[in-house]
Amino acid sequence: MPPLLLLLAVLLLFAAANGCGYRGLGLACEDNTTLILPAQSHHRYIVSGIDYDTHSVFLVDDVEAEALNATSCPHLHFNFTIDAGSALQLTHSDSNITFFYNCNKNASWPSAAELTGCSDYNKSSYVSTGDDGYTGEAYEYGCEAAVVAPVLDAHKKAMMEAPPASRYVEVLKGGFELNYSPHSEQCGACERSGGWCGYRHNQTHGGVGFACFCDGGPTADQCELAVLNKLDQFLVHSC
Domain boundaries, the chain: 3-32+182-238, 59-180
What integer pLDDT is reported at residue 227 of this predicted model? Answer: 43
What integer pLDDT is reported at residue 15 of this predicted model? Answer: 39
What integer pLDDT is reported at residue 177 of this predicted model? Answer: 95
What integer pLDDT is reported at residue 163 of this predicted model? Answer: 66
Instruction: Give the dihedral of Cα atoms 20, 22, 23, 27; nearest 10 deg.
Output: -100
Q: Provide the percentage of residues in the chain whose pLDDT is more than 70.
A: 62
Q: What is the mean pLDDT of the chain?
A: 72
Which comes out higher in pLDDT, residue 64 or 60? 60
**The total number of residues written for the chain in this structure:** 239
The CA distance from 188 to 192, in Å, is 6
- Evaluate if residue 11 carries a pLDDT over 60: no
Concatenate the DSSP letters of all residues of 70-99 into one string. H-SS----------TTSSEEE-TTEEEEEE
Band of pLDDT at residue 176, cut at 50, 70 and 90: very high
- Give how far the C-alpha of residue 100 lies from the chain's centroid of Cα atoms, to the nearest Å: 23
In the chain, the largest separation of any two C-alpha atoms, in whole Å, equals: 65
Region of 175 please: left (phi>0), alpha (psi -120 to 50) or beta. left
Residue-wise pLDDT tens digits, 22-50: 656 677 777 767 788 877 666 788 888 88
